[in-house]
Structure 1
Amino acid sequence: MNEITGFDARQANVQTPETMPHSVEAEQQLLGAILTNNDVYDRVASIIGSKHFYDPVHARIFEIAAARIAKNQLASPVTLKTFMEDDEGLKELGGPAYLARLAGTAMSAFAVRDYAQMIYDLAIRRELIQLGRDISDKASRVDISSEPKEQIVEAEQHLYRLSEQGQTESGFQSFLRAVTEAVNVANVAYQREGGLAGISTGLLDMDGKLGGLHKSDLLILAGRPSMGKTSLATNIAFNVAKAYKKGRMPDGTEGAVQGGVVGFYSLEMSAEQLAGRILAEASEISSHKIRQGDMTEAEFRRFVEAAKALEACPLYIDDTPALPISQLAARARRLKRTHGLDLLIIDYLQLVRGTGRSESRVNEISEITMGMKAIAKELNIPVIALSQLSRQVESRDDKRPQLSDLRESGSIEQDADVVMFVYRGEYYKEREKPGEENVEAMAKWIEDMERLHGKAEVIVGKQRHGPIGTIELAFEAQFTRFGNLAKPWQQGPSGGDEY
């Protein structure tokens, strides 16, 4: 029998109901290879850490060796002996002589990554078993402070965290590889209709300015009440979901080759109200008429046909009020796992709750925006979060919003990749109507109203990877619909706007 594997009670293959999955042999071989050749450590450091070792003595050996190698110092049985002479666990295994046996019986270093992966996989299995026990233990204890729904969210978070671990290709990468990935992204954009690197919003001028909605980006869409934030968000959601086409991606996986699956958190309006807005846009029937039921038979038929056409759209709405950011993230993960997820929209940011640990509202908003950016990166999707603006906009002569108007926290501006403001001059001009007796002022007002009618601006105040500036859009209030604004050279023979 090989002397190093003579610990019968500690063997990997001995499995009893009380024994967790482990492989002492794999741990011994890996540690022996590291102590023999310190260069081996760099090949396994991205896969495992000391916490993944089953044997606590092995974990301490790995930890001390890693610390010495990180300082460019030699990690060998002789150098580690100094640090572990008083280690009680090591004494049980034969003292410092055990370190020499590890190094002396280590096999070739070529298999170290396989050993490291095996140790990691067994550690994950142990965590899964422990998580299952914790879930069972918590569920069996009837505690008023621990609701079943909260336990489910907590368990789901732990499971997702486990599934996302072990990305062994993370860390530094060569410039060649980075360039290759950049070319692949550009190639996908070239092949995609419209030449966009991201998901098309369905609004040409917005796509031109943003280059589409990019993965892992957090986009803030802000504005004062009645500017049309929700309308623009629902328009984008509808356009993306309507254009959804599934196919094979360049990397060989199945996914959205056009459009995408959309998740919409509607914290202010009910799912029915939001669906009504989308149907008003699709059927071209006034949302007021839909609410009142004041439709002709032809309009109602058109409304039903639009509803049937939208049944297949991959648009999922969650209208749970006052969601905490942790639950919002958990539900987004679940949606991605069950139906897929290519775009997430949150209406609106100030209605999301933090964890409750923040001392001030400013800190809570910071926590929420950081959480939203984390969701975008973790799920590799664009996240659009709507945001309210402070009242100071109303006190200025020029009501066009700017970055300093973002309400409650500078972290909104800091964490966002893109900040956009919705502005409708028509809304403010309408409230400046002069008295009938002032003919000159009235004529000027009518002229201004005609110029502003049916138009909206989306002001891009910040963009990490593109220009800032103003996007002009058409706005049809009765359908709560934003559209592409026809330029003078795009107008038809009648001279009217073509949406």
Structure 2
Amino acid sequence: MSTACEALVACVLRDSRLLDVINRPRRDDFLDPWLGTVFAAICGLVDSGLVVDVITVDESLQADFNTASCLKELGDLCINSVAISNHVTWYADAVRDEGMRRKIVQAATRLSALADEPGANSQTLLAEADRLLSRLHERGKSDDLIGGKELMKRFLAEFDARHGRGGGISGLPTGFPKLDAMTGGLGAGQLWVIAGATAMGKTTLGLGMCGTNLRTGRSVLLSSLEMSDADTMAKFVAGSFGIPLSAYRAGLLQDTETFSRLTAATGETSDWRIGATFRASTIPLLRQAVRAHRRQADGLDLVMVDYLQLMSDDRYRGDKVREVGEISRQLKLLALDEGVPVIALAQLNRSVASGPDKRPFAHHLRDSGNVEQDADVILMPYRDEYYYPDSPHKGLAELLLRKNRMGDVGMITARFLGDLSRFEPFDFNPNVAMDEVRKPARHSVAQGF
């Protein structure tokens, strides 16, 4: 393999333009550290728009990598190597492959050492294995640039697919036609953040979107760190089959109609392609659950996380803003890697209740970190009666689209049925609604804050 390392460095030292036609290995992919350092120096010069020859590379090695002068070694490598420039892509791939295999061996060695430690926990080991494999998977991906011709080809293919659907949405349905029209639906690779105050209905809204897709045969994974398995299913059943949550809480079947609906729910949900995990508190554990569900359900269409701030990353313990920011970034990468939309629920900070207008904005996200940047869509349910019990809009809700990467922001109106854990599309004049809600004489003192 050292032959491939030497050949690659010799080729790009002679003609640095060859860097444009290869997948560049990383510095630590080279078996010989010195060759890896030389290659890194050449790449640095090219990326800075500077000339590459044995003199400039030697100067870069001394200035940027604190090495001694090695003009003779560089000259010998450039002159004596029998490397053929036409084979440069093979040399680069060989170096990358060998580097990856060494990383796999190192990961296996680390896991073996951890497993031999006294008191080793199998779940901790599985999480560490998943983390290491995820890092290797990311490292092993091709970083080829996509040329303009290929980009246009992909764009036209997607455009043609959308035309074939008759202008319909490109993503999964949300259950709200107006929201679908504004966003294109839950798009593959997108991160949707549904954020709201406690008990505002964000879980209900997210589960409703999941239910909309489960009922049409799609595969959904739910990761909940807030509710039990039975409570989660109670919300699903209430929203999808009209069985009141009050009946579940009391343990009573109030009438024959409720019993009939429960019977129907039992039969229909047995065919749902749903998976649920209640312990995926870290990204590696969530990725592990995603892979398991994809295998068991023969595919995956949608992931929902309830909720973002309850997840953790030990690397940022004590710095919640950075921790949440890293988790949101990883959720976006998860969506891209799996090619599915990810819905992440999120809490708001208490400042949202301090102003006269309590409708939330993106900056009200708690410990927001990079959430605003990572999210493709930010949707915030607002129910006026939550703050004002005598609101003229009892049972009505505004779904505030605060960020929409592929379109306009705005508001979608809905009806909220709390005991049935359901939001339903409901049209009313937004301008009138805004005027009515803002009439202070119709409101009582805000509650709970």
TM-score range for the pair, normalised by the shorter chain length: 0.7 to 0.9
Deviation, structure 1 residue 75: 4.6
Match of 2:226 in 1: 268
Structure 2's unaligned 5+ residue stretches are 430-449
Aligned to 2:28: 51
Q: Which has the larger radius of gyration?
A: 1
Q: Which residue of 2 aligns with 1:471?
A: 412
Paired with 1:76 and 1:388, the residues of 2 have a C-alpha distance of 56
CA distance in 2, matches of 1:83, 1:232: 57
Residue-by-residue CA offset, 1:422-450 (whole Å, 9 max, x unaligned): 12235555x23xxxxxxxxxxxx8xx3xx
Q: 1:127 aligns with which of 75, 84, 103?
A: 103
Quick one: which amino acid aligns to residue 89 of structure 2?
R
Structure-2 residue corresponding to 1:28:
6
Which of 288, 299, 309 is residue 268 of structure 2 equivalent to? 309
Asked if 2 retains the 8 angstrom alpha-carbon contact of 1:48 and 1:120, the reply is yes
Q: Which amino acid aligns with 2:107?
A: L
Which 10-residue stretch deviates more, 235-244 or 52-61?
52-61
**1:154 paired to 2:132:** no
Which secondary structure does the structure 2 equivalent of 1:164 belong to? helix
SS in 2 for 1:165: helix
> CA 1:338/1:117 → structure 2, altered by over 3 Å: closer, same or farther?
farther
2:153 corresponds to 1:180: yes
- 2:402 corresponds in structure 1 to 461
Residue matched to 2:206: 233
| One-letter amino acid of the structure 2 residue matched with residue 121 of structure 1 | D
1:399–1:28 distance in 2 versus 1, CA, 3 Å: closer
Q: Secondary structure at the match of 2:316?
A: coil
Q: Provide the rounded CA distance (Å) in 2 between the counterparts of 1:466 and 1:279.
A: 33
Give how far 1:233 is off: 0.8
Q: In the alignment, is the contact (CA less than 8 A) between 1:31 and 1:103 conserved in 2?
A: no
1:394-433 alignment to 2 at 5 Å?
Answer: 394-409=353-368, 411-428=370-387, 431-432=389-390
Name 2:141's counterpart in structure 1: 167
1:7 — aligned with what? none
How far apart are 1:457 and its partner, in Å? Answer: 1.6
* Paired positions, count: 424
Quote the Cα distance in structure 2 between the aligned partners of 1:347 and 1:63. 43
| Helix, strand or coil at the partner of 1:152 | helix
Q: Distance in 2 between matches of 1:481 and 1:164?
A: 39
Q: Take 2:54 and 2:315, find their aligned partners in 1: how far apart are those partners?
A: 50
**How big is each residue's C-alpha offset from its partner over 1:322-364, in whole Å with a ceiling of 9 and x where there is no partner?**
x234534554455456654332212222322342634444444
The answer to which of 23-32 and 470-479 deviates more is 23-32
Identity %: 27
2:6 corresponds to which letter in structure 1? Q
CA contact (8 A) 1:209 1:467 kept: yes
- Give the Cα separation in 1 of the matches to 2:404 and 2:302: 18
Query: Aligned partners of 1:455, 1:103: CA distance in 2, in Å?
Result: 78
Report the residue type matching 1:236 in the other structure. Answer: M
What is the 5 A alignment of 1:298-447?
Answer: 299-320=258-279, 323-332=281-290, 335-336=293-294, 339=297, 340-355=299-314, 357-409=316-368, 411-428=370-387, 431-432=389-390
Deviations 1:208-261 (A, max 9, x none): 2222112333222122233221111111011122224xxxxxxxxxxxxxxx43
Q: Aligned pair in 2 of structure 1 residues 278, 41: CA closer, same or farther (>3 Å)?
A: same
CA contact under 8 A between 1:280 and 1:479: conserved in structure 2? yes
Is the contact made by 2:196 and 2:347 (CA closer than 8 Å) also made in structure 1? yes
Q: Please report the RMSD computed on the Cα atoms of aligned residues, expressed in angstroms.
A: 3.5
**C-alpha deviations, 1:185-230, integer Å up to 9, x for none?**
3333333476112221122122122221123332221222332211
Normalising to structure 2: TM-score of the pair?
0.81
The Cα of 1:461 is off from its aligned counterpart by: 2.0
Quote the Cα distance in structure 2 between the aligned partners of 1:405 and 1:129: 45
Shift of 1:269: 0.8
- 1:289 is matched with which residue? 247
**Cα pair 1:185 1:197 within 8 Å, conserved:** no
Which residue of 2 is the match for residue 18 of structure 1? none
